Structure 1
């Protein structure tokens, strides 16, 4: 019951924080309290959110969809807008309830349409539509409308310069509290929740107001325009929410604000004919237009996932760029043993133009690919070696009857020679070429798994020496246009590589998972692990980690203070995101950002953990603010190696800092028995419930 009640409150208060692009119930509580400085507005907002939420529960929407406040913040805005227009009473409250429910329905519908067809957020468009309808309808509601508006009450308004007063009034107007005190309180909440959002709010307001003042020739009136909150919202949305915080994002946000100054004046004059305000229409129109174009051209800073704050979005983006290299189109190496990369992407000989995304592999010994002088195919180390499927899928094309060329000769007519094309489950095709004549073992229509033998390496087609050619292409046509891809789970000079592109001349070897390591990382929901947290030899506290699952299916360790998300692929176990502030979960993240599920004594691997793994509290906040202007700041380098079976040792080094020793011991059954970074340590207790 207590947990259920907490979920209801979380949804309610998140509706408030969502308006400022935050996902924080604490920030929501503070914003909610400020709206109560005008009881008429505050109560109308409460009623509208509750009406929308109760209707959502009535039609069966689950907590997973409602908890973020995403589907109810537009209803809140509508309630606040009606509360600003009408005095409270039975009829006006009925109006608020119906408008709140309609806004919720419109939010769900528009979100479905916009996300599927336009790949755009709905922002506050449902609020603009419903509030405009409500204000137009109010002309016929003589029992509700109060001419000149009801008295909004007195508020404390400190004497401030017009350029500062205007900023706070505009900020307060976002939640229909257009006064200096409310704006100051909102500014404090935003500053505490996100330094990046606060910077963008300042940037958007002062840039937009200054341009308007220059155009109008009246700075004071331009700065005191309530509608300037549109500039604030545009800068926030484009500078740090839907684009990853970066100088280029701030430039785009500034351009959008400049464009919005003209649009705001035009919409204001047009809407004035109907006696209704522009609301956030300029913000919605400009932001959606820019986001659509940026998505269309594949702008790299468009945020793939919007986290709770711009700081978290930034940290995850930088972490993903550094840690998860390669492509989502990933293949296993199609051979066994050690092979050499003969030609990679944009290779000098044949990997050019539409066929530049391809790899060729040969076997070298002592720097040579053959014995003797290589006059005969049988002298080449790669000839007649097995070729395995690098993916699972269905065979759609097989050519097997082309003869093998003599060494140094090529077939310029049938470039691809003997080949196999596999249609994968991810809607792309994999072609392997130059098989030995009549060596292919699979047939068209056959299903293959990773590691299924396809045939033997040969020298058919445009091939001067026996080698394996691999490419990913968009269609099943032989020699179709190639697509970028990468290889995962391989060894390069004793170094484990999770997902990347090996350079030419690199000697690489595919790896196969160790069953013991797979079992030791097979965490199950509701398992609990208890650790003693030590600083040196001193016991600091007891930490209990529970295995949980998020609404999207992601698994994580929950300490009660923070959540550490983890995942497994075919070759490694890794942590990838920390939500919240817990130094002991940060310790676990820093000690083991990634672990190969392959044991070879002395095998090394490297990683670059995010700031959230090595810093917490205000230090983390300051680092994230600095990195919002330069992404390369504060790079953390992790280097690990197998010291023994189940024992990992390594170092953790921050930019310009001292290298900290890292040690981790796996439990023989499941999980970790000891984790140490520097002087801090987690030691497993034995009474956990598995």
Structure 2
């Protein structure tokens, strides 16, 4: 008889007879790893949160995670890394991004499978390339794979963009737009967490926050603090109120805060201090990345998070202590 039990992080399978159940748990862990949580309970709450906003996005996230996980198994990737969901989260994000920025045609769904599979190949290659520098790959495979497909859509007539894809054009000077109120900050904090999965929905953000709380109180607090920090800087620098409310200047700070406060660096007061400072810096990198990619009609995605986290890790690690 199959020996199944629930552990603190998800389903534990003690024999080879339940590979399907173990694989389902692995897929959920892949969704959890989007916010550094090797926890299938968190992954399930993340999936439910996406579905509350869009069943299409939830299906794309699930398909992308499935495809990238299967690709990692076919590549012969490290079994423990695969089991913990490390080869799933980039594929899940790829699936959401393509269905967010491209019209959901059968061809685009096929592209989700191809791109998510490719993200695992990029992941494996970057793991080898960054090993000497002791840098984590983070969401770089998601960013590179998604931007490649979105940029290619400009030359493929059967890939039609949605109105969420930025219009290509030279960067324009921003003007202060709208009045920031208490409700802006209330919505913006949760939306900042929600936008990690490209979801502009308060209920989604709340469920993602709950998922983090189930997995790690430290990660939950870091996410909320990061979202608030990013929003605060954006407000102080005169970003548009709709963008602040939607969490567009918060989600990269969310990921930076979680990463540097304990997911990548060892937890402690020094790591917390660096995480806070990095979260405050990230909105500047986010705005700059948006401006750089605007002429190409491309979104920033989580590129600011990757750049900021890599920079801080390279700067901090060689230092004594």
Q: What TM-score do you get using the length of structure 2 for normalisation? A: 0.83
1:6 and 1:112 map into 2 onto residues whose CA distance is 30
Decide whether aligned partners of structure 1 residues 64 and 199 sit closer, same or farther in structure 2, where only a CA change above 3 A counts.
closer
The answer to whether structure 1 residue 29 and structure 2 residue 51 are counterparts is no
Shift in Å, 1:51: 1.9
Question: Which has the larger Rg?
Answer: 1
Equivalent residue for 1:114, pick from 120, 130, 136? 130
Structure 2 residue 111 is matched with structure 1 residue 89: no
2:208 to 186, 189, 213: 186
Report which of the two has the higher share of strand: 1
For 1:217 and 1:87, how far apart are their aligned partners in 2? Answer: 29
After superposition, give the CA deviation of every residue in 1:123-177 in whole Å (9 maximum; x if it has no partner): 1111111111111112223323144259xxxxxxxxx811010111121111122
Is 1:128 aligned to residue 150 of structure 2? no
User: Are residues 1:216 and 2:238 paired?
Assistant: yes
| CA apart distance, 1:255 | 1.5
Q: Establish whether residue 99 from structure 1 lines up as the match of residue 102 from structure 2.
A: no
CA contact (8 A) 1:42 1:83 kept: no
Partner of 2:252: 230
Change (3 A) 1:77 1:298: farther
Structure 2 matches for 1:605-620, cutoff 5 A?
Answer: none
Counterpart in 1 of 2:64?
48
Q: Tell me how far 1:34 sits from its aligned partner.
A: 2.0
- 2:74 matched residue in structure 1: 58
CA distance in 2, matches of 1:181, 1:90: 29
Q: Deviations over 1:359-411 (max 9, x none)?
A: xxxxxxxxxxxxxxxxxxxxxxxxxxxxxxxxxxxxxxxxxxxxxxxxxxxxx
Q: Do 1:78 and 1:130's aligned partners in 2 also have CA atoms closer than 8 Å?
A: yes
Gaps of 5+ in 2: 1-15, 166-181
Matched position secondary structure for 2:159:
coil
- 1:68 paired with 2:84, answer yes
The number of residue pairs the alignment matches comes to 289
Partner SS state of residue 164, structure 1: helix
- Partner residue, 1:252: 274
1:428-461 superposed Cα distances (whole Å, 9 cap, x missing partner): xxxxxxxxxxxxxxxxxxxxxxxxxxxxxxxxxx
Compute the displacement of 1:217 (Å).
Answer: 7.0
Give, in whole Å, the separation in 2 of the partners of 1:286 and 1:149.
25
Q: Which one has a larger percent helix, Structure 1 or Structure 2?
A: 2
**Pair 1:36–1:141, CA change in 2 (3 A):** farther
Matches of 1:66 and 1:259, distance apart in 2: 33
Which runs of structure 2 are paired with 1:574-653 in the superposition (5 Å)? none
Indicate the structure whose relative CO is greater, using CA pairs within 8 Å and at least 6 residues apart: 2
Question: What RMSD in Å do the two structures reach over aligned CA positions?
Answer: 2.1
Match of 1:216, SS state, is coil
1:217, 1:286 → 2: CA distance? 20
Q: Is the 8 A contact 1:171 1:178 kept in 2?
A: no
What's 1:144 paired with? 159
